[in-house]
Amino acid sequence: NAGVMQNPRHLVRRRGQEARLRCSPMKGHSHVYWYRQLPEEGLKFMVYLQKENIIDESGMPKERFSAEFPKEGPSILRIQQVVRGDSAAYFCASSPQAGTSGRESSYEQYFGPGTRLTVT
């Protein structure tokens, strides 16, 4: 069972360009979360999505940031007109549907390797 996949692993963008980060959840997981980790800081929640729905975007900056999780394909975190302050590690996590049997809890989230965004 492949883990959460993210690409690209490293992304360099000039100020003003767009950044697109992709996340494929673990097989059987339908909940996707995006977190950001600024240098020397803790992880901060950004957005929680299920297929075709944004459930909680309380951690998303009001401008330039958007996220989607289409019916087919990976979840995308899009940052328009990047600025130096957007440089960070962006992690995606996934969790199974509620009610999944076995040890795995619907609240246990499993993280991808992250995308390190550098804005020059």
Partner 1 sequence: RKEVEQDPGPFNVPEGATVAFNCTYSNSASQSFFWYRQDCRKEPKLLMSVYSSGNEDGRFTAQLNRASQYISLLIRDSKLSDSATYLCVVTHTGFQKLVFGTGTRLLVSP
| Contact call for residue 31 and partner 1 (CB under 8 A) | yes
Return the number of the residue (74 or 113) whose C-beta is nearest partner 1. Answer: 113
42 binds partner 1, rule: CB under 8 A: yes
19 neighbors 78 (Cβ within 8 angstroms):
yes
Asked if 25 touches partner 1 (CB under 8 A), the answer is no
Nearer to partner 1, 45 or 68 (CB): 45
Give the binding range for partner 1 (CB under 8 A) out of 13-21, 66-74, 78-86, 99-107: 99-107
The answer to whether residue 90 forms part of the interface with partner 1 (CB under 8 A) is: no
* CA 71-75-77 angle, 5° bins: 140
Interface with partner 1 includes 51 (CB under 8 A)? no
Q: Is 10 in the site for partner 1 (CB under 8 A)?
A: no
Rounded distance, CA 64 to CA 108, Å?
29
**Residues interacting with partner 1, by CB under 8 A?**
31, 33, 35, 41-45, 48, 55-56, 58-59, 89, 91, 93, 95, 105-114, 116
